[in-house]
């Protein structure tokens, strides 16, 4: 159908012009497909949409079982699509920006205190190859504040042991160079020299993989594998709910700020485009200060 052709053209534009990742492209496609499916139930054509059409989509989302965050994302993706069609001359000008997104809940990201992080890092059995690999992954995520997708994308030559730096590709395939702490670097060197070759021998297909982290079959470790590893160990050391691998990244940023790091430096280390994204961690540190104050101050 014509509207699906428009959608694929837009997805191609995001890939080529905006360097969007495959996950981002799939999210855009799914969200916009919902809009197109709704429009097929109504009379008229995509070329005749206006801001009232977008308002109808917003109302439909609010009636559904969607969180404010999901509604905001779907509306943002659809508005971008309509702006693209308008720019290409495929639809008439519309007041797309007049359809406001719902206000977001200000939820602070989950994080671990330093003693909880240490307990997590020391949970794997380093006498076993898989345990040492797991320790290497956890140490690296915390030491450098990496996303799971960034860890999955690491190659053997991503790590520069002499400089204790690692090259990662973040959202939108944006490259950045991040320091690796002394402890994490030493463990990572040991993993590359001694543990990874053992895991590589389990590969029965003869493939010569260059990915840094391998699974029990000697093949590249994926996103799901890393999340399973994290869940396995966090359940052993913490009763907190909602803690994910991303919580280690949150902990990295929070502990840096608590130690006096500049917000702009933390922004660069995390690979955030906007400083506003990093500023949420200042709220976490304030919560931590308040908690310590309440527990330590005698005149409650």
> What residues are annotated to the active site?
147, 171, 246, 249, 272, 281
Q: How many residues belong to the chain? A: 300
Long-range contacts of 181-188 (CB under 8 A, 24+ apart): 181/139, 181/143, 181/144, 183/139, 183/143, 184/136, 184/139, 184/140, 184/142, 184/143, 184/144, 185/143, 185/161, 187/132, 187/135, 187/136, 187/139, 188/136, 188/139, 188/140, 188/159, 188/161
- Cα(128)–Cα(142) distance, rounded to whole angstroms? 21
3-state helix, strand, coil in the chain (%, to 5): 60, 5, 35
CB 212 within 8 A of CB 189: no
């Amino acid at each position: 159908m014509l509207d699906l052709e428009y959608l694929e053209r837009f997805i191609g534009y995001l890939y080529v012009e905006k360097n969007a990742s495959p996950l981002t492209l799939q999210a855009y496609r799914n969200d916009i497909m919902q809009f197109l499916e709704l429009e097929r139930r109504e009379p008229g054509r995509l070329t005749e949409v206006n801001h009232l059409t977008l308002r109808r989509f917003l109302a439909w989302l609010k009636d559904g079982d969607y969180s404010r965050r999901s509604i905001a994302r779907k509306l943002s993706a659809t508005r971008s699509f309509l702006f693209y069609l308008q720019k290409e001359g495929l639809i008439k000008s519309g007041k797309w920006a007049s359809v406001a997104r719902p206000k977001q809940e200000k939820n602070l990201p989950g994080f671990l205190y330093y003693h909880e992080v240490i307990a997590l890092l020391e949970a794997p059995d380093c006498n076993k190859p898989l345990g040492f690999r797991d320790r290497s992954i956890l140490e690296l995520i915390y030491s450098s504040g990496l996303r799971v997708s960034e860890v999955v994308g690491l190659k053997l030559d991503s790590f520069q042991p002499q400089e204790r730096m690692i090259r990662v590709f973040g959202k939108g395939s944006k490259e950045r160079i991040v320091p690796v702490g002394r402890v994490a670097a030493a463990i990572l060197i040991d993993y590359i020299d001694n543990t990874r070759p053992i895991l590589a021998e389990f590969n029965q297909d003869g493939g010569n993989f260059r990915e840094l982290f391998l699974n029990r079959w000697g093949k590249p470790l994926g996103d799901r594998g890393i999340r399973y590893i994290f869940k396995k160990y966090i359940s052993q050391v913490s009763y907190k709910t909602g803690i994910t691998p991303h919580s280690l990244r949150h902990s990295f940023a929070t502990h840096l700020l608590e130690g006096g790091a500049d917000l702009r430096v933390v922004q660069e280390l995390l690979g955030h485009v906007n400083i506003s994204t990093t500023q949420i961690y200042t709220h976490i540190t304030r919560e931590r200060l308040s908690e310590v104050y309440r527990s330590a101050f005698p005149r409650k």
